[in-house]
Structure 1
Amino acid sequence: MTGRKGLVLWLLAAAGVALLDQLSKQLVLRALQPADSVAIAPFVNLVLWFNRGAAFSFLSDGTGWQRPFLIGIALVAAVIIVWLLARHRAELLFCAGLMLVLGGALGNMWDRILHGHVIDFVLLHAGGYQWPAFNLADSAITIGAAMIIIDGFRHMHKPSVRESE
């Protein structure tokens, strides 16, 4: 996707990711109470957890300063991602990854602005171990970051015969 239209399409797709994230969280808020846990597979439960911190509840024990701090980080990241999308909008894998990261960041940022915390609801567990609860925005960020890394490996410089001597 090239030109201004390409950038607009990437931004609309990111907004779509954020919207799906918010819709999923609204469904969970209507269906579950904070103490609920509903098994949907032998290793997956739906829960309703509120995370005041970042990934894996990092910074969740803060006294409230983390909310504006994490919102600020999300805003700075969004500006950088939009700039990168504008510069590289024809690089499909890279931009798809950026779009997912942007959509996820916007979804979680909206939670922080609206609720003061992020709503997490997917809980993976096996053999007595459980992964921290997460949401669709977290999944989008993780998948997007993986796509960006894979794209980076695709463009790594391979040494020529002359350089390896």
Structure 2
Amino acid sequence: MARLHHWFWRPLSPLGLGIAALVVLIDQAHKAWMLYVYDIAARGIVTITSFFDLVLVWNRGISYGLFPQESALGRLGLILFAAGASLALAAWLARVDSRLTAVSIGLIIGGAIGNAIDRIFYGAVADFFSFHALGLQWYVFNIADMAIVAGVVGLLYDSLFGGHKKAGNPPNM
């Protein structure tokens, strides 16, 4: 047990897993509110500004609606992929020493789980936020998607500017 504790539960693990849980909670609460309280399906497109609308779009594919899956087997594949990716990210989280990396991984795990929950209960991911300008339409997305993107940006920032050891000459012996 002590070996498992050392391997999986390191000082930054609670931070990353707490962020993941918070993202899932916020994402699922927002989706439930939009679907059952605000009833976005009955409202159609709700214009908020000249460049931002609320709308319900059911995404049956992966990011940006790519590779839509209409069959139960296809949906199961996407759910299993999200679960596998979340487990792999949790294993990575157990090895990180950077708070930014831990938060970023937590954001990605939470977003993946939030969207997987939608696939389990609805067969597709509920997306609501639509940005558009100058005749261009951005993809419709949700809070889980925003968390995933923020997590990826955090990982990129940390890998480029996080003060990791730089390649160069080996230390003198």
TM-score, L = length of structure 2: 0.83
Tell me, yes or no, if the aligned pair for 1:53 and 1:66 is still in contact at 8 Å.
no
Which residue does 2:142 correspond to in 1? 135
Alignment gaps of 5+ in structure 2: 1-8
Q: CA RMSD in A?
A: 1.8
Counterparts of 1:5-16 in structure 2, within 5 Å, are 6-16=12-22
More deviation, 100-109/150-159: 150-159
**Do structure 1's residue 22 and structure 2's residue 39 form an aligned pair?**
no
Give % identity: 36
Structure 2 CA distance for partners of 1:34 and 1:72, relative to 1, 3 Å: farther
Per the TM alignment, residue 26 of structure 1 is displaced from its structure 2 partner at its CA by 1.0
Whichever residue aligns with residue 76 of structure 1, its letter is G
Which residue does 2:5 correspond to in 1? none
**Do structure 1's residue 47 and structure 2's residue 55 form an aligned pair?**
yes
Per the TM alignment, residue 41 of structure 1 is displaced from its structure 2 partner at its CA by 1.7
Tell me, yes or no, if the aligned pair for 2:16 and 2:104 is still in contact at 8 Å.
no
TM-score, L = length of structure 1: 0.87
Per the TM alignment, residue 131 of structure 1 is displaced from its structure 2 partner at its CA by 1.0
Spell out, residue by residue over 1:6-34, the C-alpha distance to the aligned partner (whole angstroms, 9 max, x if none): 42232122111111001111111122116
For 2:74 and 2:48, locate their aligned partners in 1 and report how far apart those are by CA, in whole Å: 33
Tell me, yes or no, if the aligned pair for 2:20 and 2:110 is still in contact at 8 Å.
yes
Which residue does 1:163 correspond to in 2? none
Whichever residue aligns with residue 43 of structure 1, its letter is F
